[in-house]
């Protein structure tokens, strides 16, 4: 078989949203850009994984993509968590890269790297054409698992130290048809009102958790799977006969860099999808005529390898809303740590600090062994203040030891809970855009990423229209105006606000 070779300015390994964003910015910056993707379409978990609700700060390339989707009728625009048609999303991403002059190669897997004098020079790949070598001045690892970085010898970590190295739980999303969303939403609202009237508000996370307990007791589910579900309507479908994307299946005690364990997770989530289809039809109003109409062809892995870079974004940085001179992305969400071991808890929204620190929402530790099965930490629980936001520094994209390389998306240099906060779709796109903006400066000036002043990258992004010099607007500005009162912690480990009227309001 042929031994193909390519020589470019910027190679982007991985065509998820972070890789797309990097390739788009690099090509628009005048660099010869090649993107490699193992699947047959772009977008990663946002499209192939049916994670069609766009979490995080929608700015820069992400905003442009959503605007394009809206123009095609493929977007449900909301102030928070807009949702896309995942199939049309793939096509729009491809159109944008082709317009920018990016060369796209599908069905390509990175297998090795070539490193000389601590500088990465090329990657070795496998495709239908056989062995391939791609040489580039700058390489951007957007594989989602830091495959390029790990092969090149970059130090990395896997899993949470507090959880014996287990990764966050995983989800395989699926698609359902013939769902009456107004009926479902009314049932959820009625259930919530009933809890208020019985003074049982927040004892459970929502209607789904309540009826799932009943289904387990009745023998209609073999066990409790997860206390909630992310359900996003697919744009272009009728609300009373909707297509939806569902994220509720879960696997726990995961090792997300182990092929046997990954296969175990996928197989058991295939089984859960079949159980949940029957459960939804029997127990959830609005789902009586529903059916599974598609299963994502990309497994919902939330974390695997995390590189060690010039700066490791700390859990405390996220909790305490730290800003950086070289901040290249904003993150205004809560910790999104899906619990590694406990299905009933579902999430861990806090970290532990030795003392109270502002502006984090802190309280003396009250954790159980369910939350921390391998040893309960002391000190103070710290949760993200819903009125604040943190930044991701440029240095977290620059790995130690190896030059000529950036890492973007869910593998940037960050601690376990911090990566849970910045791995979401919009933020991943922001890290991809930032790495490519830096690559343009490096290539044009002949300097190494490590030597580049991150403040210059921040300014380059501002010049591209990313408002890094402004606080979050829209939904987040509205939160600042509306959430006034005492911070309280509610089931699901969320921070909410109890107003003077006694009503608890969340910012989700």
| 98/179 same-domain check | no
pLDDT of residue 154: 98
Neighbours of 217 (CB within 10 A): 9
- DSSP for 200-231? -TTSSS-HHHHHHHHHHHTTSSSS---S--EE
| 147/231 same-domain check | no
| 179/153 same-domain check | no
| 115/182 same-domain check | no
Give residue 133's domain range. 4-158+392-463
**31 vs 3, 60, 150, 442, 494, CA distance in Å?**
24, 19, 25, 11, 44
pLDDT of residue 193: 87
pLDDT of residue 198: 75
Buried b (16+ CB within 10 A) or exposed e, 140-172: bbbbbbbbbbbbbebebbbbbebbeebbbbbbb
| 154/179 same-domain check | no
Helix axes 17-28, 425-445, angle to 10 degrees: 30
State the CATH number of the domain containing residue 19: 3.50.50.60
pLDDT of residue 353: 98
pLDDT of residue 445: 98
Domain termination residue (choose one: 275, 295, 315): 295
- Give the 3-state secondary structure of 408-436: CHHHCCECHHHHHHHCCHHHHHHHHHHHH
pLDDT of residue 502: 67
| Residue 68 lies inside a defined structural domain of this protein | yes
| Residue 347 lies inside a defined structural domain of this protein | no
pLDDT of residue 489: 87
| 152/201 same-domain check | no
| 198/254 same-domain check | yes
For the chain (508 residues), the mean pLDDT of every run of 10, in chain order, is: 86 98 98 98 98 97 98 96 98 98 98 98 96 98 98 98 97 98 96 80 81 97 96 97 98 98 98 98 98 98 98 98 98 95 95 97 94 95 95 98 98 96 95 98 98 98 98 91 85 80 66
Domain count along the chain = 2
| Residue 203 lies inside a defined structural domain of this protein | yes
């Amino acid at each position: 078989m042929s031994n193909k070779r390519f020589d470019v300015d910027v190679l982007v390994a991985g065509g998820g949203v972070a890789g797309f964003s990097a390739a788009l910015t690099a090509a628009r910056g005048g660099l010869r850009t090649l993107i490699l993707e193992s699947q047959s379409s772009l977008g990663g978990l946002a499209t192939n994984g049916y994670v069609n609700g766009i979490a995080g700060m929608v700015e820069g390339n992400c905003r442009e993509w959503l605007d394009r989707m809206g123009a095609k009728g493929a977007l449900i625009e909301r102030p928070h968590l807009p949702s896309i048609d995942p199939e049309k999303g793939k096509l729009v991403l491809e159109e944008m890269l082709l317009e920018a002059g990016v060369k796209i190669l599908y069905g390509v897997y990175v297998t090795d790297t070539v490193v000389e004098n601590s500088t990465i020079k090329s990657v070795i790949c496998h495709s239908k054409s056989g062995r391939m070598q791609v040489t580039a001045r700058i390489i951007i690892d957007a594989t989602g698992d830091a495959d390029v970085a790990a092969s090149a010898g970059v130090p990395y970590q896997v899993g949470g130290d507090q959880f014996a190295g287990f990764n966050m739980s995983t989800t395989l999303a699926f698609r359902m048809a013939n769902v009456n969303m107004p009926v479902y939403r009314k049932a959820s609202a009625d259930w919530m009102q009933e809890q208020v009237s019985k003074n049982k508000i927040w004892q459970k996370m929502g209607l789904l958790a309540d009826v799932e307990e009943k289904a387990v007791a009745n023998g209609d589910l073999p066990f409790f799977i997860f206390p909630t579900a992310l359900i996003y309507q697919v744009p272009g479908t009728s609300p009373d006969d909707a297509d939806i994307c569902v994220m509720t299946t879960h696997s726990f005690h995961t090792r997300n860099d182990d092929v046997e364990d990954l296969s175990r997770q996928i197989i058991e989530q295939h089984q859960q999808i079949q159980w949940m289809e029957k459960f939804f039809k029997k127990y959830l109003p609005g789902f009586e005529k529903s059916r599974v109409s598609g299963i994502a062809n990309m497994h919902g892995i939330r974390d695997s390898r995390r590189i060690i870079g010039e700066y490791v974004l700390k859990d405390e940085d996220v909790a305490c809303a730290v800003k950086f001179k070289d901040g290249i992305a904003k993150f205004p969400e809560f910790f999104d740590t899906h619990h590694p071991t406990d299905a009933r808890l579902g999430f861990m929204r806090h970290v532990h600090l030795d003392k109270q620190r502002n502006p984090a929402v802190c309280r003396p530790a009250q954790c159980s062994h369910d939350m921390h099965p391998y040893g309960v930490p002391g000190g103070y629980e710290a949760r993200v203040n819903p009125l604040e936001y943190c930044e991701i520094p440029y240095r977290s994209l620059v790995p130690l030891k190896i030059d000529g390389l950036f890492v973007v998306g869910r593998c940037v240099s960050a601690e376990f809970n911090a990566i849970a906060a910045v791995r979401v779709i919009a933020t991943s796109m922001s890290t991809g855009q930032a790495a490519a903006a830096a690559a343009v400066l490096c290539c044009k000036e002949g300097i190494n990423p490590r030597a580049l002043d991150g403040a210059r990258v921040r300014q380059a992004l501002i010049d591209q229209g990313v408002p890094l010099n402004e606080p979050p607007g829209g939904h987040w500005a509205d939160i600042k105006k509306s959430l006034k009162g005492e911070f309280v912690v509610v089931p699901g480990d969320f921070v909410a606000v109890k107003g003077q009227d006694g009503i608890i309001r969340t910012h989700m």
